[in-house]
Chains A and B, each alone.
Chain A
């Protein structure tokens, strides 16, 4: 597993997004397109202390909270990456991301 904190269930997910102002969750598998995103997030954790970084296992049934989010409609590539501000999704993306691509989303939505 990654060194990020994990969202283990739908309840957990609810708590995480309600109790933190800025949250980024990468919902994927330990696969080729996902691992680089987890790696970039691990490095960004220290740089962005105002944001909480989590992963979630794509294949647990509870990951439907992300898989079925309207913002993820049409997504057909792993990982699904979602960004929450005060419990609401402000951005979502499908497939691999570079560290710079993640940073530009964080800078735009979580300043």
Chain B
């Protein structure tokens, strides 16, 4: 099956690109390894998407998906890519289930995922005291003592929101200062339930049936100590979903896709948009804007060739 545009990733960037290309009558397919919606689905409430004063991320994603489909965009979820061939005028994508798709152009919009700490026992205790979502799991920690890991906006904001439930929240951060906006730091510092352990990191999660304690290392001295704790919430940023592109598309040292102003990669006819590209800010409005640019660039490329 030959498409004009195949979009890899169905988050806000990919869905927006799909709306534009299918509306301009280009035969378009979105492939997502999971459910379309991306990190939007992980966002309880979006308050800064213009025109939608307050909407759940899930609702916003469903509307974008519906809109793309209404213009004839095809969407395939749980599509696991086995191999991709990006050189030449016809690009080829093979899935693990044996399906093969061909396209004149490709837009990569694979976004990113929460970074894990990488300490021992972290995976085993996920859902048993280790969490990556305050809005999902916060209320399991009513009157409990918990740790929030990280030093950016989301870590500090989520730590404050967790004080609704927890009796204490300890912020553990690797550096001696925060990368968050001043208002977020101020709000956390003024909250009597929050205390800070700076220049430190978790090196071990301890517990069988559920998390009981963590081992914390003070980085400058290397000293380690054990602390009893009921829960740990991890907010240490995101890694781009670009591992599968290594050796196929130029990436920077952080694994982000290198792009031109028109969001073309180093491979002709291959474009990229959203959280997976090289940039400073990561927001839904930016992802949708870039989805638009990549779609228009891809459309121009298809018409030109």
Q: Pick the interface stretch among B133-141, B194-202, B250-258, B259-267.
A: B133-141
Interface residue B89 (Cβ < 8 Å from any Cβ of A): no
Given A30-B58, A32-B135: A76 and B140 within 8 A (CB)?
Answer: yes
Q: Does B43 contact A (CB under 8 A)?
A: yes
Chain B interface residue count, CB cutoff 8 Å, equals 28
Cβ-closest chain B residue relative to A38 = B35
In the complex, are the beta carbons of A33 and B35 less than 8 A apart? no
Bound together, the chains give a CA A33 to CA B129 distance in angstroms of 15
B127 near A: Cβ within 8 Å? yes
Q: Counting CB contacts under 8 A, is A93 at the interface?
A: yes
Please tell me if B44 contacts chain A, counting CB pairs below 8 Å.
Answer: yes
Given contacts A32-B57, A77-B131, contact A98 B136 (CB under 8 A): no
A35 lies within 8 A of B35 (CB): yes
- Whether A39 touches B77, Cβ cut-off 8 Å, given contacts A33-B136, A76-B140, A95-B127, is yes
CB distance from A46 to the nearest CB of B (A): 13
A23: min CB distance to chain B, Å:
21
What chain A residues lie within 8 Å of B231 (beta carbons)? 76
B54-98 contact mask (Cβ, 8 Å, vs A): 1 or 0: 001110000000000000000001100000000000000000000
Residue contact A77 to B126, C-beta cutoff 8 Å: yes
Please give, as numbers and ranges, the residues of chain B lying within 8 Å of A43 by CB-CB distance.
Answer: 77-78
Contact between chains at A78 and B210 (CB < 8 Å): no
Q: Can you list 20 residue pairs at the A/B interface with Cβ under 8 Å?
A: A30-B56, A31-B133, A31-B135, A32-B41, A32-B135, A33-B137, A35-B35, A40-B78, A43-B78, A73-B209, A74-B209, A76-B129, A76-B137, A76-B140, A77-B128, A77-B131, A77-B137, A94-B126, A99-B34, A99-B78
